[in-house]
Amino acid sequence: MKKTLLTALLVVSMTAAVSAQSIGEASAMYNTKDYKASGEMYDKALAQGKGTSTDYYNAACSWALAGDKKKALAHLQQAVAKGLQT
């Protein structure tokens, strides 16, 4: 039982670390103005279901600047659903 619990905790923590790393990479791509790659990396990270409202907002900005209005709006709606406040 302890072994199973420890394994589960390890998997959860590794998934969170991968998500955080992907968000960091997406942000770095945004900063170099590679908006499409940034949007794609945000999509990859957010597919794991761990994103915050700010992460979804940043993804929306990336897609808007990459010229993909449909993806930008979808991420903006998710940001609001996650509690984004202005």
- The band of 3, judged by pLDDT with boundaries at 50, 70 and 90, is low
Number of structural domains the chain divides into = 1
The C-alpha atoms of residue 33 and residue 10 are separated, in whole angstroms, by: 35
pLDDT digits (tens, 9 = 90+) for 4-57: 654 544 444 444 444 678 999 999 999 999 999 999 999 999 998 889 999 999
Alpha helices per DSSP H over 1-86: 2-31, 35-46, 53-66, 69-81
Asked, for residue 33, whether it belongs to a domain, the answer is yes
Tell which wins on pLDDT, 3 or 18. Answer: 3
CATH code where residue 10 lies: 1.25.40.10
Domain carrying residue 31: 2-81
Asked, for residue 21, whether it belongs to a domain, the answer is yes
The C-alpha atoms of residue 30 and residue 10 are separated, in whole angstroms, by: 30
Asked, for residue 86, whether it belongs to a domain, the answer is no
pLDDT digits (tens, 9 = 90+) for 51-83: 999 999 999 999 999 999 999 999 999 999 999
